[in-house]
């Protein structure tokens, strides 16, 4: 069996997670080598790194000995077009999965993001309205647990109901329960046609689109202080059907049909060094949630069709009493989200501000989450302190 020295190298200056430097880095070639690495690294604290697009999300790890990089765990293992599924290694870039012949993994994610990282963060984008999130499209998973055990859940058919669906447990766990090495995803056909309808309209008008049953694939809002809010609707399907629905939506919103999305589409509303917050709420409360966030000085983008929004504030250095104001803004938006029947989670904030914020806020079921963590990772080695409640 390979030793830890053989499987790792000394960390470099860029091997940092949320400001915390690592001592060692490893890039296993396959699931078996990953299991041997984790077995050899017993007693070390570990953070998994994919494309690095979300490494600054969440709370910094309490300690960090080893970064496991998935860049060599890459590639499409199988693309069963007839079954509408693909099996991919966790380090596979989303750009590759967006370009499968004739089919698509309908997860909006940065091209540099990886399949495993997208699942670990339960990421999604505008098209979640039609296709769902990573949790909805994942049908099978291979994970190396913190004790080095290789586990598999799900399968390669969409209607697999055997056993516990542990894939949903690992999805959105931010790497706290183990190392994802392989994913099986449900695919969808690439639509024959797609268009966007854009309109300067209040967020409340999104309800008209939903009530009209136009089968929109995405219904996004963008609002910022001092500007008129904009709605953008993505319609997909046959050319004739898309043309007809687009004309109807444009008339409904007094908007215009476009072949390309607006420049803000699927772009986070926070600049580098800014504060980013995820907001959720009932659909009926989206207008009030947007108004509260914009009134607090935030730019808001997200799905007016699912009630999942993102608010962004400028860097603290650009705001008088920025650290204090960031805390007040988070409290204000968290209270608004609770009134709307949802939650507010701070995704990212600069050093010096992050330490002053309650990043996760109150989370139901925290005691159960702690028991799951204790069961899967008794030594709390994986992403220590990164998740809700210091898990």
Domains present along the chain, CATH in parentheses: 1-190 (3.30.465.10), 193-258 (3.30.70.260), 274-356 (3.30.70.2740)
Considering the entire predicted model, what is its pTM? 0.93
- The pLDDT of residue 161 is above 70: no
pLDDT for residue 165: 82
Instruction: Kindly tell me if the per-residue pLDDT of 317 is higher than 60.
Output: no
**Predicted local confidence at residue 75, as pLDDT:** 96
Residue 116 pairs in a beta bridge with none
Alpha carbon separation from 83 to 88, 101, 156, 184, 352 (Å, rounded): 15, 14, 8, 12, 49
* pLDDT of the residue at 178: 97
Confidence at 321, pLDDT banded by 50, 70, 90: very low
Is residue 316 predicted with pLDDT exceeding 80? no
Residues 35 and 149 sit within 8 Å (Cβ to Cβ):
yes
How does pLDDT run across 3-54, given as a tens digit for each residue? 889 999 999 999 999 989 999 999 999 999 999 999 999 999 999 999 999 9
The pLDDT, as a whole number, for residue 160 is: 54
What is residue 323's predicted lDDT score, i.e. its pLDDT? 47
Is the predicted pLDDT of residue 342 greater than 90, yes or no? yes
| Mean pLDDT across the chain | 93
pLDDT at 322 over 70: no
Tens digit of each residue's pLDDT (9 = 90 or more) over 360-384 = 998 889 999 999 999 999 999 999 9
DSSP 165-197: -THHHHTTSTTSS-EEEEEEEE-EEPPSEEEEE
Residue 389 has pLDDT above 70, yes or no: yes
The answer, yes or no, to whether residue 148 has pLDDT greater than 50, is yes
Interval 176-195 mean pLDDT: 96
pLDDT at 158: 59
pLDDT of residue 157: 62
For the sheet containing 193-200, what is the strand order? 256-258, 193-200, 230-237, 218-223, 299-303, 308-313, 275-280, 344-348
Q: Of 15-19, 167-171, 317-321, 353-357, which range is least confident?
A: 317-321
70-94 burial: b if 16+ Cβ within 10 Å, else e: beebbeeeebeeeeebbbbbbbbbb
State percent of the chain over pLDDT 70.
95
The pLDDT of 136-162, averaged and rounded, is 85
Local confidence band at 335 (pLDDT 50, 70, 90 cut-offs): very high
């Amino acid at each position: 069996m390979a030793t830890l020295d053989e499987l790792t190298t000394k960390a470099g200056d860029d091997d940092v997670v949320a400001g915390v430097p690592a001592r060692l880095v490893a890039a296993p070639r396959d699931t078996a080598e990953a299991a041997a690495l984790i077995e050899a690294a017993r007693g070390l604290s570990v953070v998994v790194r994919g494309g690095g697009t979300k490494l600054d999300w969440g709370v910094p790890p309490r300690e960090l000995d080893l970064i496991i990089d998935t860049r060599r765990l890459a590639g499409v293992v199988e693309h069963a077009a007839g079954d509408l599924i693909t099996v991919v290694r966790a380090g596979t870039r989303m750009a590759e999965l967006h370009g499968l012949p004739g089919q698509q993994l309908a997860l909006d994610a940065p091209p540099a993001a990886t399949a495993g990282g997208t699942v670990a963060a339960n990421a999604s984008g505008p098209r979640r309205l039609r296709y769902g999130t990573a949790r909805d499209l994942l049908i099978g998973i291979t994970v190396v647990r913190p004790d080095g055990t290789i586990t598999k859940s799900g399968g390669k058919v969409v209607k697999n109901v055997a056993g516990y669906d542990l894939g949903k447990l690992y999805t959105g766990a931010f790497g706290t329960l183990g190392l994802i090495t392989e994913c099986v995803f449900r695919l969808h056909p690439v639509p024959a046609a797609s268009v966007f309808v854009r309109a300067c309209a209040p967020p409340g008008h999104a309800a008209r689109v939903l009530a009209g049953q136009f089968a929109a694939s995405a219904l996004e809002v963008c609002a910022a202080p001092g500007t008129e809010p904009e709605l953008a609707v993505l319609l997909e399907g046959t050319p004739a059907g898309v043309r007809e629905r687009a004309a109807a939506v444009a008339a409904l919103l007094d908007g215009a049909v476009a072949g390309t999305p607006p420049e803000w589409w699927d772009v986070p509303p926070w600049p580098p060094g800014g504060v980013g917050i995820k907001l959720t709420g009932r659909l009926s409360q989206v207008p009030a949630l947007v108004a509260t966030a914009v009134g607090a000085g935030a730019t808001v983008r997200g799905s007016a069709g699912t009630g999942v929004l993102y608010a962004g504030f400028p860097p603290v250095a650009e705001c008088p009493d920025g650290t204090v104001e960031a805390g007040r803004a988070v409290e204000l938006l968290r209270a608004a989200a609770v009134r709307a029947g949802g939650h507010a989670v701070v995704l990212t904030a600069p050093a010096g501000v992050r330490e002053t914020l309650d990043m996760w806020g109150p989370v139901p079921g925290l005691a159960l989450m702690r028991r799951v963590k204790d069961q899967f990772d008794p030594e709390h080695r994986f992403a220590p302190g990164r998740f809700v409640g210091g898990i």
